[in-house]
């Protein structure tokens, strides 16, 4: 038999990992199966070391449309660049495996996850990290796993591991957790305003549930794992210099430089301390060997700066800008800075600033989804833009980076939880977060700016939401949780923990750990401190906008909705779409659904109401007993045809026009005359019989028209005479 299969139970269903059957030339290759969802995962590293000074790891998540029996919807009918869902799935795997590569590992490494079968009930995004863990574990690539990843939902108060797509639609949370045997490494969550205790409980539940998978991969490694190749590490001379440089840096004013409030001034002052120290060691930077000596000193100084910053936080509760661990940076907000946008706001916290802009559109504006899910569209869009000037840099401008997509998705999950349903508020909503300044947590500032922009537009959100980024500095058993971290604290700290929510609870969460993991106690403390910071920010937001504006923005388009009999849709559309084109020419866009729901969208409220009135006239259904002010539109020997409303005529028989006998209809009525009429009968073909209401009871009613005979019951026509 080719290959070997390992199985375990996860969430009451079998999870199997097979190796040795497919893609055997790669260093590590496995297939992961859960239900009928199957992924091929490979891991490969270059033999030679990269000259880059960072870990050159790439994770690719490839969705194949054949996995669900679909042909791609692109022009070329083949898969193109990864979509948003695939990029987010790749990021989940990357964030799980990246921290566990050895320090100093610089070999270019690639993990490729290919979805080759998808049952649309068991999501592949949490199976990719399991496959990556298995492939890396049995490969020759140095890596500190195994790890595992699971999804947790909460249905009727109970936690559910790896809920199906149907179960997830009923869940109060969508929580993805990755971890090792001893610690949680990564958390990603969207929720319907859940408590912090529920979140911690779900994370602990997830960590316990993943242990069987970790044991399985550990068994694979023990039985099939290859010998890991040696890392050719160069001698690091910096540790010997650190104690000496630390004394010089402290004497040279490093402490005061680190406590400088503004980023540019702080960078300039710390650089000045560094340059002075280096000059004392290398007076002539042009001398032979000076460049290598300077590079070594810079590396050593970077360690000194990091250690000093962490010492200030742990021992003195002082941070890089002089704040203590619980203080949020100063906040200022401006609502509606853009006069023509539907909704806009500027949110500034310290040196992080985001312009949030809300735009309202119709169903025609929803984004189309072409991936392996059953979803076809999304009526809420959030786009996060991070231009290079936001950090004072010059970089090539291109498409959205994976980081931008990930940060935008986090903000989107945070805000989606408080949006009204489409039935309550029938607009497609687009939010844009333009990052204008960034020094820590621009994604959380996007949540705040986006919420303010929605409220400025008059969108009836359920509650305002805000976000705050938490950090952690840990040395042994000593640690300190930081509220509203700076970019520097993110880089030099041990945790990036973003928490979003309303005053009632959490709507989104993202956590990445750079150390071996954190305990539930630290997590609870971080969540409690995050709540304190979030409530402070919500209070500042309420000083400007305490809730949605009572009226829709004057620049926003208007949507009016009405419901008609589905059988009358044809009257609205007309032959070849003629009628609906005439309606849209009145200044509106119109959408018609199969159940008879019609939405009229126009920049002018008056135009929208005019179109609605016209549609109501076209689809109005006559009822026996109703009276109308009609207009005679045609006369015939047997009676007059009276228009009741647009598109609907009735017949007033000559016997129902007057108490006196008429020889001709024209003796009493002519085309164009207006009169009050009442419906007394409607036959099976929809033909309407009328009477003048003031004559009802004074003249004999006309016998109602009988059913129309079938063609077979009609007498034969007489022969035609030439």
Q: List binding-site positions for Mg(2+).
A: 490, 496
Cβ atoms of residues 676 and 631 within 8 Å:
no
Q: Which residue has the tokens 């859940």?
A: 194
Residue 205: φ, ψ to 5°: -60, -45
For residue 588 the two structure tokens come to 């509106």
Distance CA 665, CA 640 (A): 7
Kindly provide the b/e burial profile for residues 220-259, where b requires at least 16 CB atoms within 10 angstroms of the residue's own CB.
bbeeebeeeeeeeeeeeebeebbeebbebbeebebbebbb
Distance CA 117, CA 419 (A): 34
For the CA atoms of 172, 174, 178, 183, the dihedral, rounded to the nearest 10 degrees, stands at -20
User: Please, is 717 exposed, middle or buried when counting C-beta atoms within 10 Å of its C-beta (0-12, 13-18, 19+)?
Assistant: exposed
Strands (E), 457-573: 466-475, 478-483, 495-501, 506-513, 558-563
Residues 6+ apart with CB under 8 A from 639: 651, 652, 653, 654, 656, 657, 665
Binding region: 490, 496
Cβ atoms of residues 55 and 106 within 8 Å:
yes
Cα within 13 Å of Cα(468), Cβ side:
28
Distance CA 480, CA 196 (A): 19
For the chain, the farthest-separated pair of C-alpha atoms sits apart, in whole angstroms, at 126
Residue 261: φ, ψ to 5°: -70, -50
Cα within 13 Å of Cα(624), Cβ side:
9
């Amino acid at each position: 038999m080719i290959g070997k299969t390992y199985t375990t139970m996860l969430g009451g269903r079998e999870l199997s990992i097979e190796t040795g059957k497919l893609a055997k030339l790669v260093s590590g290759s496995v297939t992961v199966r859960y239900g009928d969802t199957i992924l091929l995962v490979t891991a490969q590293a270059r033999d030679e070391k990269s000259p880059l000074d960072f870990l050159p790891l790439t994770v690719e998540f490839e969705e194949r449309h054949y996995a669900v029996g679909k042909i791609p919807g692109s022009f070329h009918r083949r898969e193109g660049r990864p979509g948003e869902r695939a990029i987010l799935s790749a990021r989940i795997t990357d964030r799980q495996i990246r921290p566990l590569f050895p320090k100093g590992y610089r070999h270019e490494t690639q993990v490729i996850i290919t979805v080759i079968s998808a049952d649309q009930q068991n999501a592949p995004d949490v199976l990719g990290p399991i496959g990556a863990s298995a492939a890396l574990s049995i490969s020759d690539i140095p890596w500190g796993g195994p790890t595992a990843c699971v999804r947790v939902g909460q249905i009727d108060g109970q936690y559910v591991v790896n809920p199906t797509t149907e179960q997830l639609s009923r869940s109060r949370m969508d929580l993805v957790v990755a971890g090792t045997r001893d610690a949680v490494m990564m958390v990603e969550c969207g929720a319907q305003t859940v408590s912090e205790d529920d979140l911690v409980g779900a994370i602990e539940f997830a960590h316990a549930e993943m242990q069987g998978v970790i044991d399985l991969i550990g068994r694979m490694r023990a039985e099939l794992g290859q010998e890991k190749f040696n890392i050719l590490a160069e001698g690091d001379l910096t540790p010997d210099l650190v104690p000496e440089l630390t004394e010089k840096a402290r004497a040279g004013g490093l402490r005061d430089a680190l406590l400088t409030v503004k980023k540019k001034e702080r960078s300039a002052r710390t650089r000045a301390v560094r340059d002075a120290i280096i000059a004392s060691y290398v007076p002539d930077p042009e001398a032979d060997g000076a460049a290598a000596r300077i590079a070594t000193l810079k590396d050593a100084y970077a360690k000194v700066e990091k250690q000093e910053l962490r010492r200030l936080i742990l021992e003195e509760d002082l941070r890089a800008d002089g704040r203590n661990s619980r203080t949020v940076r100063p906040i200022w907000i401006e609502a509606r800075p853009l006069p023509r946008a539907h909704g806009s706001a500027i949110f500034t916290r310290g040196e992080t600033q985001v312009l949030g802009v809300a735009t309202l559109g119709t169903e025609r504006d929803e984004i189309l989804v072409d991936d392996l899910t059953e979803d076809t569209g999304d009526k809420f869009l959030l786009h996060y833009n991070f231009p290079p000037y936001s950090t004072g840099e010059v970089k090539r401008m291109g498409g959205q980076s994976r980081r931008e997509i990930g940060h935008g998705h986090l903000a989107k999950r945070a805000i989606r939880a408080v949006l009204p349903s489409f039935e309550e508020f029938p607009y497609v909503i687009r939010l844009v977060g333009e990052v204008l300044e960034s020094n820590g947590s621009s994604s959380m500032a996007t949540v705040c700016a986006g919420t303010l922009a929605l409220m400025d537009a008059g969108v009836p959100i359920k509650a305002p939401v805000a976000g705050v980024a938490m950090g952690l500095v840990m040395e042994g058993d000593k640690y300190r949780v930081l509220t509203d971290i700076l970019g520097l604290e993110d880089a030099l700290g041990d945790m990036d923990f973003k928490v979003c929510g309303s005053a009632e609870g959490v709507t989104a969460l993202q956590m990445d750990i750079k150390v071996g993991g954190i305990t539930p106690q630290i997590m609870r403390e971080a969540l409690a401190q995050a709540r304190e910071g979030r409530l402070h920010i919500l209070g500042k937001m309420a000083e400007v906008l305490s809730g949605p504006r009572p009226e829709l923005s004057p620049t926003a388009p208007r949507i009016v909705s009405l419901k008609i009999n589905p059988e009358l849709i044809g009257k609205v559309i007309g032959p070849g779409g003629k009628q609906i084109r005439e309606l849209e020419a009145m200044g509106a866009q119109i959408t018609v659904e199969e159940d008879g729901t019609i939405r009229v969208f126009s920049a002018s409220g008056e135009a929208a109401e005019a179109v609605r009135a016209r549609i109501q006239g076209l689809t109005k259904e006559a009822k026996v007993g109703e009276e109308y002010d009609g207009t005679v539109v045609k006369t015939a020997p047997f009676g007059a045809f009276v228009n009741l409303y647009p598109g609907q005529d009735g017949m007033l028989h000559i016997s129902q026009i007057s108490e006196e006998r008429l020889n001709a209809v024209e003796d009493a009525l002519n085309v164009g005359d207006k009169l009050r009429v009442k419906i007394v009968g409607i036959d099976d073909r929809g033909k309407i019989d009328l009477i003048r209401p003031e004559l009802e009871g004074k003249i004999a009613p006309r016998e109602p028209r009988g059913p129309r005979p079938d063609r077979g019951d009609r007498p034969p026509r007489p022969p035609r005479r030439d």
